[in-house]
Amino acid sequence: MREIIFDTETTGLDPRKGDRMVEIGCIEMVNRVATGQTYHAYYNPGMPMPAEAEKIHGISDSFLADKPPFAEMARELLEFLGDAPLVANNAQFDFNFLNFELENCGFEAISLDRMIDTLVLARKRHPGAKHSLDALCTRYGVDRSHRTLHGALLDSELLAQVYVELTGGRQIGLGLADDGSDGGDEGEAVTARFVPRTGQFRPPRPHAASPEELARHKAFLESLDSPLWTA
Domains and CATH numbers, the chain: 2-174 (3.30.420.10)
| pLDDT attached to residue 150 | 87
| pLDDT attached to residue 177 | 42
- CA 201 and chain centroid, separation: 37
| pLDDT attached to residue 38 | 97
Query: Coil, helix or strand for 65?
Result: coil
Q: Kindly list the catalytic residues.
A: 150
Q: Is 9 annotated as a binding residue?
A: yes
Beta bridge partners of 216: none
| pLDDT attached to residue 187 | 38
Give me the tens of pLDDT residue by residue for the chain, a chain 231 residues long. 999 999 999 999 999 999 999 999 999 999 999 999 999 999 999 999 999 999 999 999 999 999 999 999 999 999 999 999 999 999 999 999 999 999 999 999 999 999 999 999 999 999 999 999 989 999 999 988 887 778 899 999 999 999 999 998 765 444 444 444 444 343 343 333 434 444 555 666 666 778 888 888 888 878 877 777 665
| pLDDT attached to residue 179 | 43
| pLDDT attached to residue 185 | 40
Q: Is 7 annotated as a binding residue?
A: yes
Does this model's pTM top 0.85? no
* Contact by Cβ (8 Å): 90, 119: yes
| pLDDT attached to residue 184 | 39
| pLDDT attached to residue 202 | 60
CA-CA distance, 120 to 127, in Å (whole number)?
10
Q: Is 157 annotated as a binding residue?
A: no
